A and B are shown apart, each in its own frame.
Chain A
Amino acid sequence: MYELIIVGGGPAAISAGIVSARKKIKTLVIADSFGGQWIMAGDIQNFIGTKSVSGFNLAKNLESHLKAQEGIEVKQAAVLKITKKGAGFSIEIDKGETFEAKTVLIASGSGHRKLNIPGEKEFEGKGVFYCATCDAPLMKDRAVAVVGGGNSAFESAISLLDYASKIYVLDRAEILKADEINQEKVRNSGKAEIIAGVSITEIFGDKMVSGLKYQSCDGGEIKELAVEGIFISISRIANNEIVNGLVEVNQAGEIIVDPKTQKTSVDGIWAAGDVTDVLYKQGNVAIGDGMKAALNIYSYLRIDNKK
């Protein structure tokens, strides 16, 4: 029986793992990969303490920092289900094994949200992409579209600047959320056009994508853009299936936490990072929230329960 099982391998999970190992809490981390969304990020310039680092290297650093902790156990697997068992919890993984723990921290992050429009599924990999760092080099001298208005969308657009001949950034919002510095880089490139306040209605093509249709959100006429690549980078969905029905979530499916302690609605379960209703979905914030959770779990295990 572990004192703590951490589910996830992104910044929230890793920071919590490092804190709990240093507190000598008997901890198991179960993750299918390490580094979270940073794996896919290109050049990261807002990781505090580092001027510039590739997302892939940052992810590797997180993994090695976690694994260097004395006494921590790490299992690479996907968690299927978490259930209440006695005074603790039982966690089932994909290889059929189950593990038990007194407390659980859910840091399972978030997944791609799809547009759910005609053509999206049909053309996945055939011009519809979700990873710009992977597939941007294939778009040399081609016109492309990026869908979304947050930092990850603009980072996708920035990785495309080196390759594409023309980049359209389309978002539903009138005022885009991405950091001004990222927006400026794209705007000042001379080959980008930002189209705000619109939604994509259809993706079309023959064998591969040849364009998309969009419409202003107040219901104007439908317009077309000729593009060969469409990079989708819209808001994400919390990976909450593993605690389905166990903890309280909001309408968006995000786990509701107390922002001071990261406690969920269930005694013994904490959550941190993008799976929660945290307002700012950022790696640096997730690191802080993971740390808060681990410190609070330490109090719960070693102080509160001894009173």
Chain B
Amino acid sequence: MKMVKIYSTQTCPYCEMAKEYLAEQGIKYENYDVAGDEAARKEMVEKSGQMGVPVLDIDGTIIVGFNKPEMEKALKLNK
């Protein structure tokens, strides 16, 4: 099972799409709301070198934005 973290804000539509996509694929993830959680925000900036959301951490692969092909690759979903 892959370790998936998503750094998001509550208002962000692309974060919502990324979560929906993970749910559709039956993949469990941990969500961090970087608007309220200062430590998670720092972690996200350190990992991605920027502060736009969403950021996904899939077993150490960092993806900025809702990027389906990159997510498929990192999750090794063969399509």
Using known A-B contacts A125-B52, A126-B51, determine if residue A138 contacts B35 with beta carbons closer than 8 Å.
Answer: yes
**Residues 12 to 54 of chain A near chain B (Cβ within 8 Å):** 39-40, 42
Which single member of A39, A125, A137 contacts B11 (CB below 8 Å)? Answer: A137
For residue A235, give the distance in angstroms from its CB to the closest CB of chain B.
22
In the complex, the answer to whether A159 meets B50 with C-beta atoms within 8 Å is: no
Chain B neighbourhood of A129, CB < 8 A: 52
Which single member of B9, B12, B13, B50 contacts A125 (CB below 8 Å)? Answer: B50
Closest to A55 in B: B13
The A/B interface has a contact count, at CB < 8 Å, of 58
Closest to B79 in A: A95
Asked if B53 CB lies within 8 Å of chain A CBs, one says yes
In the complex, the answer to whether A126 meets B13 with C-beta atoms within 8 Å is: no
Chain A neighbourhood of B10, CB < 8 A: 137
Using known A-B contacts A125-B64, A138-B34, A140-B35, determine if residue A133 contacts B51 with beta carbons closer than 8 Å.
Answer: no
Residues of B within 8 A of A (CB-CB), count: 19
Give the CA-CA distance A129 to B65 in the complex, in Å: 12
Asked if B14 CB lies within 8 Å of chain A CBs, one says yes
In the complex, the answer to whether A134 meets B16 with C-beta atoms within 8 Å is: no
> Which of B13, B51, B53 has the most CB atoms of chain A within a 10 A radius of its CB?
B13
In the complex, the answer to whether B53 meets A138 with C-beta atoms within 8 Å is: yes
> Which of A125, A127, A140, A163 has the most CB atoms of chain B within a 10 A radius of its CB?
A125
In the complex, the answer to whether B11 meets A159 with C-beta atoms within 8 Å is: yes
Closest to B14 in A: A134
In the complex, the answer to whether B50 meets A126 with C-beta atoms within 8 Å is: yes
For residue A136, give the distance in angstroms from its CB to the closest CB of chain B.
7
Give the CA-CA distance A159 to B48 in the complex, in Å: 24
In the complex, the answer to whether A134 meets B51 with C-beta atoms within 8 Å is: no
Asked if B56 CB lies within 8 Å of chain A CBs, one says no
Chain A neighbourhood of B11, CB < 8 A: 42, 133-134, 136-137, 159
Give the CA-CA distance A124 to B16 in the complex, in Å: 21
Q: List 21 A-B contacts (CB under 8 A).
A: A39-B13, A40-B13, A56-B16, A124-B52, A125-B50, A125-B64, A126-B49, A126-B51, A127-B51, A133-B11, A134-B9, A134-B15, A134-B52, A134-B53, A135-B12, A137-B11, A138-B34, A138-B41, A138-B51, A138-B53, A208-B51
A residues with CB within 8 A of B: 39-40, 42, 55-56, 59, 124-127, 129, 131, 133-138, 140, 159, 163, 208
Smallest CB-CB A-B distances: 10 pairs: A125-B50, A137-B35, A125-B52, A134-B12, A137-B9, A56-B13, A126-B50, A39-B13, A133-B11, A134-B53
